[in-house]
Amino acid sequence: MSSLLTPFEELTQQISSSTASAADVIPSIRALTRLIETTAETDHGVKTSKATLLEAIQRRFGDICSQCLYAIATLLDPRYKDRYFPDALKPQLRVLLLDILDTRSDSSPEQHEKRSEASGSEPPEKLPRAGTLQAMYEELLDGDVEHGAGSNDSSQYASQMNLYLSEPLLPRSGQPLAFWQDNKSRFPALAEAARAYLSAPCTSVDSERLFSTAANVGDEKRNRLTSKNAEMLIFINKNLPLMRMK
């Protein structure tokens, strides 16, 4: 039973981090579902529990791939793109993304032909251990077909989208926001949309942590602290680490 519940604990910790976004939801659900569906030697005595957990996941998240916020956020995350969606759904999601880009833009963004080249090769990552949540992420990607441009649409948005989706994924340890900062001149419309969709948090956990921060700032030894200064201290506490990352 412990081995069965371990992936749930691991996933809970991942999506509760301050850097998790709405883009992490669909890949996490797909990886967790595949892991539970996989037959293992340790299944003896917990098959009923696995079936119950799988049914609960399907009941709560069965339509997650068709929900606009999560779907578009996942598409705009360079670690995931459209690789975690069923093949039958991918054309619809591309059309949805183009519609959103058209809606968001009041005027046509300027085209930039210059493309930045990848700098340096990344050190090889450790292969995930079989039967783990990380292995399911990799398995979903390995099973995905090769992606090409696949569209004759001459619009600038379609060109940006097709080029973006055809490029290799960032590693899961990569920084999506840093990617868009570096590539906003290549994909201006996509980068603008990513600013909106990737800012949505994955859960409310980090927001709830603000209450703990406020309690630590406004302790009994600071009974003369004004509300304005308390607000500034909380803001610095939460945002200073982000500034240091730059």
User: Would the pLDDT of 194 be above 80?
Assistant: yes
Question: How many domains would you assign to the chain?
Answer: 2
Tell whether 191 and 222 lie within a shared domain. no
Distance CA 32, CA 22 (A): 16
Tell whether 124 and 170 lie within a shared domain. yes
User: In whole angstroms, how far apart are CA 79 and each of 70, 92, 174?
Assistant: 14, 20, 7
Q: State the CB neighbour count (10 A cutoff) for residue 23.
A: 28
Tell whether 146 and 212 lie within a shared domain. no
Tell whether 142 and 240 lie within a shared domain. no
Residues pairing with 21 in the sheet: 201
Which pLDDT score is estimated for 187?
92
User: In whole angstroms, how far apart are CA 64 and each of 60, 96, 204?
Assistant: 8, 15, 18
Which pLDDT score is estimated for 19?
79
Tell whether 190 and 165 lie within a shared domain. yes
Tell whether 26 and 92 lie within a shared domain. yes
User: Would the pLDDT of 4 be above 60?
Assistant: yes
Tell whether 115 and 151 lie within a shared domain. yes
Tell whether 219 and 139 lie within a shared domain. no
Tell whether 146 and 231 lie within a shared domain. no
Q: Exposed, middle or buried: residue 180 (CB in 10 Å: 0-12, 13-18, 19+)?
A: buried
Which pLDDT score is estimated for 49?
84
Q: Distance of alpha carbon 175 from its chain centroid, rounded?
A: 10
pLDDT tens for each residue of 141-181: 666 544 444 443 337 889 999 999 999 999 988 899 899 99
User: In whole angstroms, how far apart are CA 133 and each of 28, 31, 59, 79, 168?
Assistant: 9, 6, 20, 16, 22
Tell whether 218 and 192 lie within a shared domain. no
Which H or E run includes 231?
helix 227-245
Tell whether 30 and 123 lie within a shared domain. yes
Distance CA 140, CA 183 (A): 26
Report the predicted TM-score, pTM, of the whole model to 2 decimal places: 0.67
Tell whether 211 and 142 lie within a shared domain. no
pLDDT tens for each residue of 84-143: 999 999 999 999 999 888 887 744 444 334 333 433 445 445 555 656 677 667 767 666
More confident site: 7 or 1: 7
**Structural domain boundaries, residue 72:** 2-197
